[in-house]
Structure 1
Amino acid sequence: MSKLWKVTLAILITITLIAAVALVVVLKFTGNEEKKGPTAEEIVASSVDVPEITTNLADGSFIKISFKIQMNNEDAKAEAEQRDFQIKDIIIEQLSQMKPADFNGEQGKTNLKARLKEKINQVMQEGKVDQVYITSFILQ
């Protein structure tokens, strides 16, 4: 074999090895790791309970509803507990604009939860709302 072939072959082998090592490293560190959500204990530790609220809806009917609001950390939970009066005000304000038909189906409640999350996040400074859960619901 000529010297040129030996150098070319050595370069090709080196490039192949480097590519293989790079592929293994990339797959190892960016593998199919599933993002796991918080455990039940973590959710409870960072959540605030909003006790049952009874208020009128836009058409004069009324609703009894309570929530659990999951914050993104424990500092946010502490802030939300101090801002409970603001959170209740936001909830009552949003509910008073709704009619019973707005609660029909899953989408109605999902829309309410999304609006509450957005509005509460506007007053939060130390963290944010991750999720809003409806824990009781009576519409009359």
Structure 2
Amino acid sequence: MFKNKLVNIMIVLLLAIALIGTVTVIIINKVNVKATNGKPSIDEIVKYSSEIPEITTNLRNGDFIKISYMIQTSNKDAKEELDKRDFQVKNLIIQQLAQMDSEQLKQKDSITLLENTLKDKLNGIMQDGKVVRVYTTSFILQ
């Protein structure tokens, strides 16, 4: 009978230590996430981003634009998928720009609106992750 009590006490102590250890690990992970504000580092942003080289295309009103992008994805798989979908990405960009004219692109916040529209359209075709942000890296309107 004494042995059963001793075994039960040891089991309870081991479970208590395991519980304390688990709670400690969870707390440490939460503190680390808060320390980085949940935002990826610049190294992670670059690692999961794809560059879309300069595209030259006509606008609706006959003017033309030269534009290039850096597209940030959510993870490695999403970046790989986006790289494979390069032709679809360029197609979506050209289609979007063909619907616009130079006056629209001269408006305040027009670049941000275009980036957000492209992000939404790209996320519509993505299967392995998502597009987090579209950055315009060059923009020449003529």
Task: Report the TM range for the smaller structure's normalisation.
Answer: 0.7 to 0.9
Matched AA of 1:115:
T
Among 44, 50, 53, the residue aligned to 1:51: 53
> Secondary structure at the residue paired with 2:100?
coil
Write the distance in 1 (CA, Å) between the matches of 2:66 and 2:138: 8
Q: Show structure 2 runs of 5+ residues with no match.
A: 1-26
Does residue 76 of structure 2 align to residue 79 of structure 1? no
The ranges of structure 1 where at least 4 consecutive aligned residues each deviate by more than 2 angstroms after the TM superposition are: 28-31
Compute the displacement of 1:37 (Å): 1.6
Aligned residues: 112
Matched AA of 1:125:
Q
Write the distance in 2 (CA, Å) between the matches of 1:138 and 1:107: 16
TM-score of the aligned structures, taking structure 2 as reference length: 0.74
Compute the displacement of 1:132 (Å): 0.2
Write the distance in 1 (CA, Å) between the matches of 2:59 and 2:50: 24
Compute the displacement of 1:114 (Å): 0.6
> Secondary structure at the residue paired with 2:109?
helix
Q: Show structure 1 runs of 5+ residues with no match.
A: 1-27
Root-mean-square deviation (CA), in Å?
Answer: 1.8
Write the distance in 2 (CA, Å) between the matches of 1:105 and 1:86: 27
Higher Rg: 1
